[in-house]
Amino acid sequence: MAQVLEFKLPDLGEGLTEAEIVHWLVEVGDVVAVDQPVVEVETAKAMVEVPCPYGGVVTARFGEEGTELPVGAPLITVAVGALSPDEVPDALETATPAPSGPADPAAAHAAAPSGSAANGSATNGVAREADGASGNVLVGYGTAAAPARRRRVGPTRPTATVPHTAPATGTPGTPGPAPAGIPVSVSAGQDTPAAPGTAPARGDGPVPVISPLVRRLAREHGIDLAELAGSGPDGLILRADVEYAVHAARTRPRAVPGQDHATTPAPRPSAESSPADRSVPAGGVVRTPLKGVRGAVADKLARSRREIPEATVWVDADATELMRARTAMNAGTGPRISLLALLARICAAGLKRYPELNSTVDTAAREIVRFDALHLGFAAQTPRGLVVPVVKDAHTRDAESLSAEFARLTDAAREGRLTPAELTGGTFTLNNYGVFGVDGSTPIINHPEAAMLGVGRIIPRPWVHEGELAVRQVVELTLTFDHRVCDGGVAGGFLRYVADCVEQPAVLLRTL
């Protein structure tokens, strides 16, 4: 007899709390092996393939592509053990989630009446191991048994308010259910089966709300979440649902004696309209959710500007000799040396002279933490947005090793294959925004680092060289630094050293 085990979205590390389903790698009915990737998800840091710790037949998937799930939410159920041909259809049917079930499995468990025959199965076909352990060994997943999923059936009450959603098609000769979000009064003894397409009664169980902001918004406006029908996946109550309820409460006509308005609220927006559409005024405003990489970048930049008292210094440098040196390096048959690698070597030498810039500020302890190792981040623009991969121990690498690592991380960033470890742990950032055809910038420091070196485009310009006016390859170098870790003398000394190495690469040989 096969056991049907539930696999939840594991903790993917680095403090991530949710992930968006990008692409399912398996279908219901597929046979999966232990540790086989079953879904590709996008976190705030990277695209990750999630392996399943069970081997067997996939009996259910939770969430469509594009759905954002919190850590701990169910991903799939897998029938583990030998399945006879006759058992496969039963396993698929019993493990399929109810169409209008709650987003949180714990909510379903709390709302299901004990011993109810309406459930059809006490665990909805999901069997647990005898000792209560899940068997999962992924990071942060634990081994505690998860609550079983149940179909929720609302208890019979003398007068219960049950939100219904209209099905796609009606049955001739039978009265159709009320439109979505319109409460229907149910008398005692009346049967209210949780048919597909209808929202079952919540009873006394928790309401399907994930976001604390949604709860706070409802509390501030006196909205009872238990009376709302969520428009999110599996009836999840979204912020737009609360905002609509607030608007409806403000525009609801005053009660007239002898007339009951409690059960006739204003009609809700159609099911086809998205939550963003409900708040878009006439005039063509487009709202883009700040989530995933874009949301992580927004949070980090805002925190940097809020916490770091940054200052910026810049200088023009004649890069003609550096470009000639690179051309000479690449004249042979060996691996090509990138300009970014040469700039990274110069940064490593400069930070050895001015280690104050390879540090961070521990605000809780009110201490400056200086690092011995240089983990060099570099800004990379990808189709998913701006990311900053990190070259670990950059101070120990030569130009060839740096060129190869920059190329590897850039390719991985463009393909969305960077791991969280490759996107964190930087101590200093090199930003080559010259590839965008601009000369200078005042970049925002990559929190919690203390400095960032910006490099503009290298273009021919008039320059006084050896006492005569000449056309030289000139670049603008910009250093943005945390004024808490050093004063302008240190920042200026570092930038001047970098500029000297760019103008006369032989200066760098003295420190190698």
Dist CA 254 CA 65 (whole Å):
43
Q: Give just the sign of the alpha carbon dihedral 80, 104, 96, 149.
A: positive
Q: 453 has which bridge partners?
A: 430, 479
272 closest CA partner among 121, 168, 182:
168
Which of 23, 261, 465, 483 is labelled catalytic? 483
Dist CA 343 CA 501 (whole Å):
9
**DSSP code per residue over 425-447:** --SEEEE-GGGGT-S---PPP-T
Q: How far is CA 124 from CA 60, 134, 186, 215, 342, in A?
A: 12, 17, 27, 29, 61
Give the position of tokens 């910006």: 454
184, 159 Cβ separation under 8 angstroms: no
Give the position of tokens 């209008």: 100
Dist CA 265 CA 261 (whole Å):
7
| Type and span of the H or E element at 49 | strand 47-52
Maximum distance among all alpha carbons in the chain? Answer: 101
Q: 56 has which bridge partners?
A: 32
483 catalytic residue (yes or no): yes
382, 498 Cβ separation under 8 angstroms: no
337 closest CA partner among 246, 437, 406:
406
Q: b/e map of 67-84 (b: 16 or more CB within 10 Å)?
A: bbbebbbbbbbbbbeebe
CB under 8 Å to 251, separation ≥6 — which residues?
A: 266
Alpha-carbon 111 to chain mean position: 30
Q: Looking at the annotation, which residues are catalytic?
A: 483
